[in-house]
Structure 1
């Protein structure tokens, strides 16, 4: 089964089975995040125009902060690791600069884990705007190979222990 089939199926389930809201504007997304109930994690599908695949966003409002987890469904990566699929996100999370990149696993096949690259961060809710959010995404995409390398390095270190 193709990884892109898995991503498509995930999106269909999120949209239709779980009613996850899909937005195509960063200002609208930020307004939804800032107006959600405090302390409750909520998931959104962010589909900016012109992108082949959207971002999956999880957000929790805890004033004066907003915790964000962003998975780029267009940035498929593979890692060779002997990790149960359910432990991949935690095992691959590493702090680099103001981000905590991770792999959101989608499939394991012959010891190869296929997933999408994502990041976690916490920002002050006062500075979170549509433009600020877009800047976070652009910076992460620009440096995605560096962040992925940090994940691979962490896994290599764990393997050597």
Structure 2
């Protein structure tokens, strides 16, 4: 009887030690049903070393000086619960070498997001408040020559700017 009592006592004392460390280890692992989707960084501005400006007035001035056209790129950069928005995908596409080569030395690049574009800019270039993406080609005076509102692929945008 003493052996059974000693066994039960030792079992009662040692069980929490073994199972608490196992429970603790399980709590640090993500649950199987938790989202393990990787976080994609939000792109608020495009790299200036790639030639992107954040002001249309500066872009127009440069376009007139260099006799170039302008690409005015407006993108809603949110990564929604159902996947990337058109604007978010486009911010990725314009950073690809294919697109960079297509616009190199041909265009002045200007980038706006829903947070940096004021209502005056949206009105002037007819950018809807719910627009996910607008890519406009402007002449050096700021007149619209062409507009694209879809970012299907890098090649799609390359074809648009060519």
* TM-score, length-scaled by structure 1: 0.28
| Higher normalized contact order (CA 8 Å, seq sep 6+, divided by chain length) | 2
> Larger radius of gyration, structure 1 or 2?
2
